[in-house]
Every structure is written in structure tokens, then in C-alpha cells.
Chains A and B, each alone.
Chain A
Amino acid sequence: MMSEVIHLKERNRKLFEKIEEISGEKVTLCEQCGICTTSCPMADEMDITPAGIMRYSQMGDETVLDSEAIWICASCFTCTVRCPRGIDLAKVTEALRELNLRKNIDRIDVSHLDEELDELPAIAVVSALRKFTS
């Protein structure tokens, strides 16, 4: 695997600031201990670990916006209640999702849901649509 040099530019700083602004959290406080990752019930399915998400956010690395991880997150808040620095990670991940959704990039296509719509509880449909679509 080729190693890639990341040239940190103005747009990285801007992304980092945007993330802090939308989430209301100071991502610079993260000391990368990794407790969030091992507390996260979905971590095994993620391409970037929760601690990794925080790292990319700190560096303003746009890769995180294209990750699967931020969508695999189920907003369960386990990371938030465990973070030893007191950071609300759920809000940071939401901010990353919003940065996509606000560009009108939907995560799921509503029209593909007809199969189970009758069986699914309303709560599942509403929450999924709210999290995955703009």
C-alpha cells in the first residue's frame, strides 16, 4: 500500500472549524485514547474507528466525510458517556453526517424501501429517514 502524504491546507482548517461549529464540541480535546472505539457497538462494521473519526476531524481531513463509518453510527451515545475528556462524540458524528446531508447528498434512497414498509414500525422508518436523508 502506497503511503500518502497529506498536505494540510486552508480547506482542512475550514473543515475542522465547521465541524466544531456545527457540533458545538471542541474536537481538539480528544487525546486519542480509543475508549470510544471499544465502547462502540458498531465499531467492527466501520471502515474508520470512532477514535479515527475524531482524529480526521481534528486534522480537517475530508476523507472522513466519505467514510462509511459515520453512517454506520447508530447514535447510541455509548461513546459520549465513556469519553474521559467529556466530549460528546455523537454530536461530532452527527455534524459529519449533516455536512453531507446539507449538500443534499442522501444516504439511502427512499424509493427502495417499499418491500418492508408494512412490517416496519413507524419509529424505524421515521428515524432512518431523518438520519439518512436531508
Chain B
Amino acid sequence: MSVVYDEAQQAIGDAARRALAAQADRQRQLAALEQVGAFDLQFHEIAARQGWLAMALPEAHGGLGLGLIEQGIVAQACGGVIAGTPLLATNAGVAQAIIAGGDAALAGRWLRRLGAGDAKGAVAFAEAEAMLPDTAATQWDGTTLTGSKQGVPAGLVADVALVWASRDGEPVLALADLAGASRTAIDSFDNGRLHADLIFAATPATALAQGEAARALALDLLARMATITAHEQTGGAEALLWIARDYALARKAFGQPIGAFQSVKHRIAELYALVEIARANCIHAASREGQPDFLLAAAAARLSAGEAYDTAARDCVQIHGGFGVTWEGGLHLHMRRARSLAIELGHALFWEDIAVDELVGGVLVGSRA
């Protein structure tokens, strides 16, 4: 199954692109790269004001009652202008976990604030190089967390974190108020993502799920966030496709536009193929929310969008020649974002394994692929 965007959904995309274009500022983005802890407040305010953080929340909690399709449309627009803190995905992930956990008190405390952008959420699953370790070193003892998480996106500003932990070797998904944790900023190659190491020392935390239920919920949340992020990656790749195309038309060498040389035009045509395949996978994944093949669909979206964005960043820079590698030219903003998004929420090898586990497990039966 897939979808064709209806008029309301197209209007959401148009509105998002308009709002983002009004605040686009390359100098501000370049400056943010050189500051640790800098936070693109303008973007965050737009996201909050436009309701982008509340889209998938139930109306009872101040949300818009929409879903992944609409979240994806907005994320794609954000990716196109390299806008966005990780909160687009992480606030959605934390909110979804709280809903799934079914604790009314937690829902009352956090959901409305997360949706309004007054509270910021981080998702701290990874430890060292592992996205979702079998047994997390971070321990939950029934009431508190102890341990550390490295390079958590949005970790620098988050008020609350969803933490992948363990208790007696069994997985636990716990929600921790970060007032009780300490954090260290990471000076990263894409500082706008607000990466930080989080250290928990008897930090009060509530379990949302335990045992196999925790693992299943963690994978479902990863699939949701990966679907949103895949849209963002596709938006970035699509922007680079057209930047490369425009440059290939404008730039002349050897007496003709460089886009007339097959080595250049075929490279751009290949980008088109990667972008369209990623876009189709993203829309498909968003339409499979809650279905048995959702994890596989999210993996396909994630893999193809990551490939599209990384390849577009490489090739677009290459087509620009020397101008592609200058600081002021700013293409490295896309290059950096392509890589940070590729790592956050699990690298390609992590998702390849998920896809293969699903496929070998028999999900493929009946598929034409």
C-alpha cells in the first residue's frame, strides 16, 4: 500500500516550505557549526508555532491527531533547507512512548508540553557504537537509572529522555527527567543537532515497558522516528539534486554547460533515481504505521534515503568543483547533515540487519520484490 497526498496534506507541505523559506539563513547555519550548544531557536519556534511537534499527538493532549504521513511531509520540507533540530523526530518518539506506556500521570505531565515545544525530548538508546545493545549497560533498579549514553541527539537541551536500559539482563524502556542527570556537550561536525553525553547517577526514572515488550516498543519507536528522519534525508537529497542540476546548467566549461557532458548529466540522473526511490519508500513506510510490515518498510525507507542523501552530498559537491568545498558555499552543511542523520537512529548496517531479519523471517511472502 502507499498513498497519494490529498489536498490537506499538500497544503501542510506548502505551508511548511513557506514558513521555512522565510527564516532560511545560511550565515546563521554556518555560525551554528562553530558553536557548541548553539540551538536554532528560530527553527524550533517555527516548528512549535506551526504545530509540527504536536501533529501526531491525540487531540485530548493538545495534538492535531495526524500521523506519520503528515510528520513526514514536514520533515521532508525541513530536510530541504537543512533546518531542524532533532526534536522533530525525538519529541515525537518520546511522546509516542509515553502514549504506548499508558501511564496517565506521565501523559498528563509531558504530552501537551512536548507537543507545544515547551518541553524537549531526547531518545537515548545507543551505547558506544551500538544502536540498540542486547543488554544495555545503563541499569534501571526499579526507580532510578545509572549509566551513561554517548552522543545523544538533542541531549544538550532535552528536559526528558527515553532511555534504553536493563534490569537483571532484561531490557527496560525508562523515562527520565533530565533535571536529575548531568550532560556534557560534544563538539560535533554538525553542532546544530545538540549532541551530548548523558550521565545518569541514581536519576529518577519510570519504566514504560520491560522485557520483550520493551524491545518491541523500542523497535517500533525507532521505525517511527526513522521514517520521519528518512523524509528529512530525502528532502535534503532532493534539494541537492536540484542544486546540482542548476549548477550544471549555469556553469560552462570547454564551450558548453557542464551538464551537457554525460559524466555529469548521468551522475545527476542517477541522483534522480535515488531520490525518487527514497521518496516512494518514505511515503510507503508512513502509510504502513501500525502494520506488521512497518519495521521492514521503515528499514527500506531509511536505507534508500540515507543512500540518496550521502550520494547526493558527495556528487553535488563534486559537480561544483572547487566551489563545492568552500566554507561559504555551504554545501558542506548538507554533507554534514547527511552524515549526522545517517548515524542518529542507527546507521545503515543496523537497518540492513533489521531488514534482513524481517525478510528471512518470512515477511517477503507475496511481495513482488
A in complex with B: no
Question: A-side interface residues toward B, CB under 8 Å?
Answer: none
